[in-house]
Structure 1
Amino acid sequence: MPTITKLFSAVEVAQHNTREDCWIVVDGKVYDVSSYLDEHPGGDDVILETTGKDATEGFEDAGHSKDARELLETFCIGEIDISAPSIPELVISPKDQQTCSCKNLMDLTKQYWVVPVAVIGISAVVGFLYLRKK
């Protein structure tokens, strides 16, 4: 009977990025290594650098032994769902459908252009008068 594997989105994995709740991804599989951090021979900081992310490259570069790979499998909690988008899609509305708040902001900036111009003008006059006294 095949085992049912839990699928996690990249966004979901990224939320588990603390020392107390440390998930990593290696070769598409998700591992909860929170309980192993203190026992890792290379130190916990090596794992914490990639928590909530894909750690495949770092894991492979370290040249882990067969025993280390077998131990890693004991922490497996699922796989990355490659069908889920890693970043939520951004919805862009057409220019003719601007929201009221955006239009109101544009109206305000057109009405109150005098304030920054006045501040600049007053600053210029004060600076001129200051330099003239010297």
Structure 2
Amino acid sequence: MPTLTKLFSMEEAAEHNTKDDCWVVIDGKVYDVTSYLDDHPGGDDVLLTATGKDAKEEFEDAGHSQDARDEMEKYFVGELDPSAATIPEPKQEKKDMDTIQKIKDLPLQYWAAPIAVVGISIVVGFLYLRKK
């Protein structure tokens, strides 16, 4: 008799985002890595930052070996429900984008003084070196 795979929404998986209860999603598969946090070679913070999104890209970029992929299967708890809503944007990235937008929106007057100081420093440096 085939085993039924439990389906989770990304919101459900994202709720497990602490050191005491950590799930990661990689390529649509959900893993409970809570017991592996202390043993992960990259440290627990790498896994904790991978919660709340499908971390396939980060997993692939890290260059995990086949042994790591095999080890991962021990922690498999289910899959993302394909009928669930789309994957939400992680909150941290939204904060980063807000910060970038705020910097872009700063008026030119706030940039003028630092740019002037750098420009004057370069000119003074050239003049000093020219006298030698």
- TM-score w.r.t. length of structure 2: 0.63
| CA shift for structure 1 position 86 | 3.8
Cα deviation code 1:34-90 (max 9, x no counterpart)? 000000011111111112321111100001000000000110000000101147xxx
Matches within 5 A, 1:66-77: 66-77=66-77
Is structure 2 residue 65 aligned with structure 1 residue 58? no
Tell me which residue corresponds to 2:21: 21
Matches within 5 A, 1:37-116: 37-86=37-86
Gaps of 5+ in 1: 88-134
- Aligned AA for 2:28? G
Distance 1:37 1:4 in 2: 27
Work out the number of aligned pairs and report it: 88
Larger radius of gyration: 1
- Aligned AA for 1:55? A
Q: What RMSD over aligned residues (CA atoms) do the two structures have, in Å?
A: 1.6
- Aligned AA for 2:39? E
> 1:79 is paired with a residue of what secondary structure?
strand
Question: Which structure has greater helix proportion?
Answer: 2
- Aligned AA for 1:84? A
Gaps of 5+ in 2: 88-132
| CA shift for structure 1 position 14 | 1.2
Distance 2:82 2:25 in 1: 12
Distance 1:18 1:86 in 2: 23
The answer (yes or no) to whether the contact 1:28–1:79 under 8 Å persists in 2 is yes
Distance 1:39 1:25 in 2: 18
Q: 1:47 to 1:18 in 2, by over 3 A?
A: same
Amino-acid identity (%): 68
- Aligned AA for 1:37? L
